[in-house]
């Protein structure tokens, strides 16, 4: 305890004797921090929000082997019954947007090699460019299960265009997933339709044979009722099959954009005040350390 008190007392004595020197370090460091803060380029942030779609909601139970078809599976507009995506859907799109393929497309479209003065033929050019883009890009999932895409650039308009382009690419990615799912639905429904048509054909043949031979009237009535029910079911299959074929041509362009990015005239980084404060605190620490060393040397020679 006495040693601790003595150490504190020693620091106060150092500050007391060399306060001008310490303040000089703080001022010098603050000036350096000020120069650094204003030397660094200003970056502007632009953010857009997108939501994903749950394509599992479009896969009807009949495609999974059930003979039941829900009349409300498809919307009256002829498109799929679109629902907000699950966390898995969000992760899928986020992973696609963070893929090298998508990021390289952004780099090529916006000429980022030239913008950042990177020679594309250099062996490490690609890695360096991807690293720069990663530092200026943030894609996160919100608590509302949407995606926020934020881009930082030295020009507000460029940040806006890049953020919106990422959103557009998200549409492209999910449109591909959507169409792939609709292909699967159409194929499955075609199989269901053909299978049901064969069953109805066989049922109709059996009924016609009984009628021609005038056998078992009660069984004929049962077969007729079953044939009517199966024919209605086939009609539903046909409707859903036609819908699924139409949905193969359906596009999700701009359907996923919740909020488009806008140019933000307010600088987002660097945080100049924090930089200056950091340099000032560093100067304070260096000043106290230097003063302590000088104080101890003075005591040693005294």
pLDDT of 9-49, one tens digit each?
Answer: 778 888 888 999 999 999 999 999 999 999 999 999 999 99
Closest CA to 139 of 166, 112, 115, 171: 166
List the single range of 32-36, 187-191, 196-200 with lowest mean pLDDT: 187-191
Task: Quickly list H helices, 112-216.
Answer: 112-115, 125-135, 156-213
Q: How far apart are CA 252 and CA 89, in angstroms?
A: 15
Please state the domain extents for the chain.
1-40+270-302, 41-269
pLDDT of residue 223: 80
Mean pLDDT of the chain: 81
22, 163, 291 from 296: Cα distances, Å = 15, 58, 9
Element (H, E) at 100: helix 100-109
How many CA atoms does the CB half-sphere of 291 hold within 13 Å? 23
Choice among 49-63, 190-204, 255-269 with the minimum mean pLDDT? 49-63
Can you give the pTM of this predicted structure?
A: 0.64
Cross-strand pairs, 50: 147, 257
Phi, psi for residue 258 in degrees, rounded to 5 = -90, -50
- Which residue, among 27, 36, 47, has the nearest Cα to 270 in the 3D structure? 36
When the candidates are 1.10.10, 3.30.2450, 3.30.1890, 3.10.20, the CATH number that belongs to 41-269 is 3.30.1890
pLDDT at 86 over 50: yes
**Residue 271 bridge partners (DSSP):** none
Query: Average pLDDT for residues 220-224, to the nearest whole number?
Result: 80
CB 35 within 8 A of CB 275: no
Query: How wide is the angle at C-alpha 75 spanned by C-alphas 233 and 57, nearest 5°?
Result: 85
């Amino acid at each position: 305890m006495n040693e601790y008190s003595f150490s504190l007392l020693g620091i106060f004595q150092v500050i007391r004797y060399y306060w001008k020197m310490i303040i000089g370090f703080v001022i010098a460091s603050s000036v350096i921090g000020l120069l650094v803060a204003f030397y660094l380029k200003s970056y502007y942030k632009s953010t857009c929000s997108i939501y994903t779609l749950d394509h599992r909601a479009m896969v009807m139970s009949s495609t999974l082997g059930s003979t039941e078809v829900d009349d409300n599976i498809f919307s009256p507009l002829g498109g799929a019954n679109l629902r907000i995506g699950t966390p898995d859907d969000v992760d899928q799109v986020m992973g696609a947007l963070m893929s090298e393929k998508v990021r390289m497309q952004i780099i090529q479209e916006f000429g980022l090699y030239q913008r950042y003065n990177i020679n594309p033929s250099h062996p490490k050019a690609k890695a360096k460019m991807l690293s720069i883009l990663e530092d200026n890009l943030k894609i996160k999932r919100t608590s509302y299960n949407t995606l926020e895409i934020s881009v930082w650039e030295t020009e507000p308009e460029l940040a806006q265009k890049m953020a919106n382009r990422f959103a557009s690419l998200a549409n492209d990615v999910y449109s591909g997933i959507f169409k792939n799912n609709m292909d699967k639905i159409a194929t499955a429904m075609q199989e269901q339709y053909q299978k049901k048509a064969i069953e109805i054909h066989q049922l109709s043949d059996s009924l016609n044979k009984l009628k021609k031979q005038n056998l078992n009237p009660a069984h004929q009535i049962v077969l007729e009722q079953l044939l009517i029910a199966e024919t209605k079911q086939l009609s539903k299959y046909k409707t859903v099959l036609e819908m699924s074929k139409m949905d193969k041509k359906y596009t999700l362009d701009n359907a996923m954009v919740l909020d488009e990015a806008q140019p933000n005239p307010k600088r987002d980084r660097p945080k100049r005040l924090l930089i200056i404060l950091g340099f000032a605190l560093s100067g304070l620490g260096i000043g106290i350390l230097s003063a302590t060393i000088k104080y101890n040397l003075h005591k040693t020679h005294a």
